[in-house]
Every structure is written in structure tokens, then in C-alpha cells.
Structure 1
Amino acid sequence: MITLKLRAREERRLRAGHLWAYSNEIDTDERYKTIEPGTLCRLLDSRGKPLGVGYVNPRTLLALRLLSSDVSAPLDQAWFERRIAAALALRERIYPGPYYRLVYGEADGLPGLVVDRYGAVCVVQITTAGIERLKDVVLAALQAVLKPEGIVLRNDSSARELEGLPAYTEVVGTVPDRVEIDEDGVRYALSLTAGQKTGFFFDQRDNRTRLQRYVRGRSVLDVFSYVGAWALRSAHYGASKVSCIDSSESALDAAKANAALNGVELEAIRGDALAAMKALRGDARTFDVIVVDPPALIKRRKDHDAGIEHYAALNRAAMQLLPGDGILISCSCSHHLEPEQLQRVLLREARAAGRRLQILEQGGQGPDHPVHPAIVETRYLKAFVCRVING
């Protein structure tokens, strides 16, 4: 295992519990660039005091990620088994069924690794060269702890490109075309090889539960619906009518199939979210409750201003479809967008429409996506439940 040192006065963030070191913080020489991406390393501060062990990629700005503060940690299969078992213990304490995010990267002490559990099948996403080099060890540890029937490697994230890694999907063991999960009494049949991201958005589970206060006997519009998670939870809680907007025909087909699985009806509207909401307004349609849950619109800091305007346009269009007293649930999974910024967007658009806004609830990601207190990037999800009223 190689040893790297930080430059003088660059250790404060890591001493406070952070797990990242940037290339300009590492004391490098001409040999640094010859290190193979993902190589395991010990990290010392500028005075030679140990900070931990992890892995390094000399070709990226975010160059080093720590796995343990114990410089003697072996980082072998048994070590990974202990980390995965600790993550499993939390989820089993919280959830009645085996459907959740099992490993959430840095927050579970495993930077570069995401694991979602769908009963007997796991979906694994590796985003760094370090974990890619340790893939066989990680998979062996996962199999030892969970004994899944199948594992899907969904290594098609754009984050891999930054690490110089190829995109690929791989199946290990037995994985059915669709797996069925249960979320608080609602059933979903999901494709884990062809679906978005890792198959399902577990992070919004607690926010979807908030629907039960607002939807009974009401009409609900689920914008960016994917497989219909918000819409079907609304139907489960007694909504009178549920409608979905998504640009993906396959996602809407899955939403309709999931509606049939739960014995409910669902209106599917295919199209761009803004264009579809504009068309609904042109048809004089209104909805009592509207959920706007887009993908990340601010993936990089330089996208911030354009992303803010996109959030504004989406929420403006949604408010125009609400009656005189309606509920808007507005979400963002962009970690570059602060909650206060989304709140200002909502206030601005309500005032521009001559309407009053009340924030009833504010939510974030569920506890299967725990927040690392030293790494703000692990807190990313915002969900505002708002009342939008005339006058």
C-alpha cells in the first residue's frame, strides 16, 4: 500500500471527519501521476500523522477518498462484510420489508458504492476507480452478508466518466425480468436492468407517506412520474383520480402496469413536463394536489442559474393547474440547490401569480439515505409541501 501526504494546513477538513482530499491538497511529485487509478493508499498529514486509509485517483480533482481512519485496516473481504453488516443492521431496524437503499456511499463508510435491496436481488452501483478495483471483494462481501439470489451491476452512472471508467450493466446470479416490492401496502413491479438509476427511488418513501394527509377524495397529478410511485401511493390513500406525466413511454407503461397490480386506475400523459402542463391548462384542467419531482436540474455549479429558472418554470406551471386552494409538493434532488433557494423560488412564483403560499411540511431523504455530518453533499433531497391559495 502506498503512502501519500497532505500539504501543510490542508488536514483540517479531514480531521473534522470528512473523507475527501482534492488533488491540490496532496503533496505530490512526478511519481503521483503514474499511480494507477483506484490504488489503495495510506494518507498522512503534512507532519506525518496518520489520517486513514483509502484509495486515490490521480486523474481526478477529487483525488482521494478515505475508507477508514484506522491506518491498519486491512480493507479485505471481512472488513467490507463488517461495513455492509452495519448498514444492514440500521435498515432492518427501520423497515419491515427488505426493500431499501442498503449502502449509501460515504454516509455508510463506503465511498463510491451504492447498493439497493429488492428482496432477494441487489442492485450495485460503483462510481469510483477504487471500488471498481475492489469489485470482486465487495461482491463477495455482499454475498456473504445477504446471500442474494442475484446482483445487478448498474455501472452506467455519469459519475464513472469522471473517474475514467466505462459504463456497463452486468448480471450475477438469477435476476427476473421484473421484481416486485411493497412500499407501505403499495406494490410495484420493477425492471432492475432497464429502469432508471438503480430501479426505484427509495429516498422519497417518507415524503410519499406525507400524501395521506392531503389526497383523500382529491385529484392528484404526478409530474415526472417514472413508475407512478407518488400517484399510486395517492390512490392507496383514497385519491379520487390520479394522473401521471412522464416523457418515457416505457416508464408510463410500467406505471399503468403497477396501477393494474394494485387494482386502481391511472391516467398516463406522455410528454415533456412543461409542455404537458401547458396543454392541461389549455384544456382547463385542474388538480387538487400536484407533485413536481424532477431529476437533478443542477448537476454542476455552473448549471445553477439555468437550473433555478427551470425549477421556477415547472412550479409556475404546476401552480397554474391548482384550484383556488390546492396542494403543491415541490421536490429537488440537486445537492447544489439549497432548501432556502427552492423556498424562494416557490414564494416568487406564488407572488407573481397573485397567490399566497403556506409551507405545511418540509422533508428530505429517508433514513436509508443517512447524512454524513461532515459531508454536505450527502444531504441532497428537498421536498416542500405547500398550500397555494387565492387572495
Structure 2
Amino acid sequence: MSWHPTGEVIVDKRGTSLILSGRFNIGLNMIKKLIGPVSRGDVVIVKDENGEFLGEGFYEEIGSVGVRMLAFKDRISLDLIDERMKNALDMRKRMKLGNYFRLVHSESDLLPGLIIDFYNDIASITSTSVGFDARIKDIANILIKLGARAVFARNDSRTRRQIDLPLWKGKIAGEGPSDTIIDEEGVLFHVDVLKGQKTGFFIDQRINRISLRRYISKGDNVLDLFSYTGGFGLHAAVEGANVTAVDESDYAEEEIVRNAELNKVKINFIKRNVKELKIGGEYDVVIADPPALIPSIDRKDAGKKAYLTLNTKIMNIVRKGGFIFTFSCSQFLSQEELKGIVIKAGDKSGRSIKLLDGVLGQSPDHPVDPKHPWTGYLKGFIVNCT
């Protein structure tokens, strides 16, 4: 697929204002006119109503998005994409992130609609852009030059389903298997970029998993809800805690057993939906890292109730003086809203609570672009209950 424009898009005053302010995603309803043979995924020249050149982008026509801008007052080229990916890699190298990291975080790395994660020498791509879908082999070739042994696509996300993009996954370039072992501050995890959720692992929680260890003492009883492959639970187990992990996935059960063996620790795994789990006893530390309970804006009220129910439930089982690590990865729930839910859960459960360490966020390889606030989706709190 060509990186040269096939036609022009004329945007209205609102679209022009957004582009001039540095916004990447321009709505379909802001497009006044198409000039020339323009198809979904094409590179297009973008102009205002007076014919003034604003830049270039992908013509998307998907969901509510009409154009994804890639170059402001500039032209798109494969060299430009290559340069942005190299700049993204240079920044991650300065972070000293070890053998796995997010290389590209969509708008935050000037590549809207594109996510790329590295696990050792395996790269995993997720696209929500028709333009990047059409050029995914070009992206894979850049990644091979940047050190990837093999590049895989994980284009089977819920977001793609919601915006009616085709769902698929598989190898795009390179050689070798889709799995590897990563090391997170001495804790080992098996990652398979084709079988696991998202791109294979939840890199965004790296700093929070490591922070958990400060709150764990040998012999603590720890409950890890929505455990997936044991990220939080394994860090607690390495510190000598008695860990119970809960997840409903067959893959999670298989992998948490494998990861426990890798780290020479024991974890009690319960395969069950957390909503159906009847929890008894008292725990020194409880971690609740659910999937997005507000998957779309129209389900926000129901999702807020679900977060309140969950947080009230876990406050009823943490011992006096114990700790809760509670999170939301929903872009539709703000930090202040989650904080309000936590406070309300404390009131409902009759617990006196304190919030520690401020607001927990995502790993620094998931930078937040303030002009595109959804790039900062993860938030959480450490709660001390008395």
C-alpha cells in the first residue's frame, strides 16, 4: 500500500481548529468534501475550507473517525514513521526497562491507532487504524530492523470488534515461536503473544506490581482477584506470602501454574468468575485489577455500580490494618470518580480508610498525551483499612 496521497479531504472550521491544536483524530462529521479517488486506508492531503494545507493523514471512515492525522503541516512517508519508532525506542532505552516494554503507545508516540509491545526479541502489534492495517507489513519490517526476531499481529481486540474491523492474529514477519520468558525485577513470566490476552501480557501494571512488594510481609495471606497469569500474586509469593489467585480463564490457570514453577513458589488458584465467588476469611492484602467494567460510555452507570460492588466486597474481607490495591483500566472512569467509589465503598462496609502513595498509574513506557487523555486510562489506589 502506497504512502503517497490519493486525494484530498476538506475539513470544516471545527476540524481545522482541532488539527491546529495538535489533535490526531478528526471526526467524520467534520469532513466537508472529498476530492479525488479516496478509499478507506488511503493517505490523504488535509486542507481547510479555504484550501490551506493542514497536513496529511489516513482516511479512516471507521466508527466516528474520518481522518487520523499523521503529519501536521508536513507530508507522510515511511521514513517519517521509521523516525518516530526509532525515537520511541530511544526514549524506552533511557527508561532502563529491561527485556520487555511498550514501544509505541498510539497518540503518545505520534502514531495514532497503533500499539506495539516488545518481549525480548518478539514484537506484538495491535492496530485500530485502517491505514496502519493496510501497511502492517511495512511496520513489521521496521521492527525487524529495530531488533525483532519475529513480529506478530494481535488484531483481535474488543475495540476492533466494536468498530467493525476484521479480527485476526498471526505472524507477519521473522522466524521462531510466539512465546518467551520475561524478567520483572527478578520475577519470571512466560508470555505468549498469540495465546495471551491483549498483546500477551499487561505491561502497564509493571510499576504497581513491583510497588506491591513493599507492602508484603512473609506469611501474609494475599488474595489476587482477576489474576490473569499471576502478575501481582507472583510478586507477593516471592516475598513469602500465602497467595490465592482467582481468574475464570483456562489460559490463566495453565500459565499461573507454569509461572509459579518458574519462580519456585506455590500459588493456590481458584478458577471462577469473581462476581460469583463467595469469599471467606480475612486477608492481609487484596488486589483487584478487573477488566474494564465500563467498556463504553453508554454503560457507565452500570459500570460504576459494578466497581462499587467489587470494592465494597473486598473491604469486607481485608483484615484491620490490611491493604487493598484497587484499579480501573476503563478510559471512561476518571481518577476522581474511582476515588469517590473507593470512599463510598469504605462507608458501605463500615471501614475507616486511608489512601496511600497518591494515584497509581501506568508504567512509564505507556506515556500520557494530555491532548488525548484516553492514553492515560489506568488508575488505582492503595487503601489501608482499619
Asked if these proteins are the same fold (TM beyond 0.5), I'd say yes
**1:325 alignment counterpart:** 321
Residue 177 of structure 1 and its aligned partner are, at CA, apart by: 5.4
Equivalenced residues, count: 378
Residue 160 of structure 1 and its aligned partner are, at CA, apart by: 2.4
Pairing 1:154-193 to 2, within 5 Å after superposition: 154-171=154-171, 172-176=173-177, 178-193=179-194
Q: Tell me which amino acid in the other structure corresponds to 1:56.
A: Y
Alpha-carbon distance in 1 for matches of 2:83, 2:16: 27
| Secondary structure at the counterpart of residue 315 of structure 1 | helix
Residue 363 of structure 1 and its aligned partner are, at CA, apart by: 1.1
- TM normalised by structure 2 equals 0.94
Are the aligned partners of 1:290 and 1:327 in contact in 2 as well (CA < 8 Å)?
yes
The answer as to 2:46 corresponding to 1:43 is yes
Alpha-carbon distance in 2 for matches of 1:20, 1:175: 36
Are the aligned partners of 1:219 and 1:239 in contact in 2 as well (CA < 8 Å)?
no
Alpha-carbon distance in 2 for matches of 1:188, 1:313: 31
**2:128 alignment counterpart:** 127
Alpha-carbon distance in 1 for matches of 2:13, 2:81: 32
Residue 166 of structure 1 and its aligned partner are, at CA, apart by: 1.3
Alpha-carbon distance in 2 for matches of 1:40, 1:177: 32
Alpha-carbon distance in 1 for matches of 2:224, 2:274: 10
**1:233 alignment counterpart:** 235
Q: Percent same amino acid among aligned pairs?
A: 32
Alpha-carbon distance in 1 for matches of 2:41, 2:25: 14
Q: Tell me which amino acid in the other structure corresponds to 1:45.
A: D
**2:63 alignment counterpart:** 60
Pairing 1:309-324 to 2, within 5 Å after superposition: 309-324=305-320
Deviations 1:306-345, CA, capped at 9 Å, x for gaps: 1001111111111111112211111000000011111111
Deviations 1:45-93, CA, capped at 9 Å, x for gaps: 23333322110123431111111214333x22x2222111111001111
How large is the RMSD of aligned CA atoms in angstroms? 1.7
Alpha-carbon distance in 2 for matches of 1:96, 1:354: 41
Q: 1:372 aligns with which of 369, 373, 379?
A: 369
Residue 155 of structure 1 and its aligned partner are, at CA, apart by: 1.1
Q: Tell me which amino acid in the other structure corresponds to 1:64.
A: V
Name the CA shift for 1:262/1:325 in 2 (closer, same or farther; >3 Å): same
Deviations 1:238-279, CA, capped at 9 Å, x for gaps: 242111000012202211210110011101011011222x2x
**2:20 alignment counterpart:** 15
Deviations 1:124-146, CA, capped at 9 Å, x for gaps: 11221110111122112221222
Alpha-carbon distance in 1 for matches of 2:16, 2:151: 38
**2:89 alignment counterpart:** 88
| Secondary structure at the counterpart of residue 324 of structure 1 | strand
- TM normalised by structure 1 equals 0.92
Are the aligned partners of 2:15 and 2:27 in contact in 1 as well (CA < 8 Å)?
no
The answer as to 2:290 corresponding to 1:294 is yes
Are the aligned partners of 2:144 and 2:174 in contact in 1 as well (CA < 8 Å)?
no
**2:260 alignment counterpart:** 259
Are the aligned partners of 2:19 and 2:72 in contact in 1 as well (CA < 8 Å)?
no
Alpha-carbon distance in 2 for matches of 1:48, 1:216: 66
Are the aligned partners of 1:292 and 1:331 in contact in 2 as well (CA < 8 Å)?
yes
Alpha-carbon distance in 2 for matches of 1:231, 1:58: 43
Name the CA shift for 1:90/1:275 in 2 (closer, same or farther; >3 Å): same
Q: Tell me which amino acid in the other structure corresponds to 1:43.
A: V
Name the CA shift for 1:98/1:130 in 2 (closer, same or farther; >3 Å): same
Moved over 4 A (4+): none
Alpha-carbon distance in 2 for matches of 1:177, 1:330: 31
Q: Compare 163-172 and 316-325 and name the one that shifted more.
A: 163-172
| Secondary structure at the counterpart of residue 319 of structure 2 | coil
Name the CA shift for 1:138/1:177 in 2 (closer, same or farther; >3 Å): closer
Alpha-carbon distance in 1 for matches of 2:163, 2:346: 42
Alpha-carbon distance in 1 for matches of 2:217, 2:54: 54
Alpha-carbon distance in 2 for matches of 1:72, 1:346: 47
Q: Tell me which amino acid in the other structure corresponds to 1:387.
A: N
Alpha-carbon distance in 1 for matches of 2:43, 2:97: 37
The answer as to 2:198 corresponding to 1:220 is no
Q: Compare 43-52 and 302-311 and name the one that shifted more.
A: 43-52
**1:210 alignment counterpart:** 211
The answer as to 2:100 corresponding to 1:99 is yes
Alpha-carbon distance in 2 for matches of 1:131, 1:322: 46
Are the aligned partners of 1:274 and 1:317 in contact in 2 as well (CA < 8 Å)?
no
Alpha-carbon distance in 1 for matches of 2:301, 2:271: 28
Are the aligned partners of 2:38 and 2:44 in contact in 1 as well (CA < 8 Å)?
no
| Secondary structure at the counterpart of residue 229 of structure 2 | coil
Are the aligned partners of 2:324 and 2:382 in contact in 1 as well (CA < 8 Å)?
yes
Q: Tell me which amino acid in the other structure corresponds to 1:68.
A: A
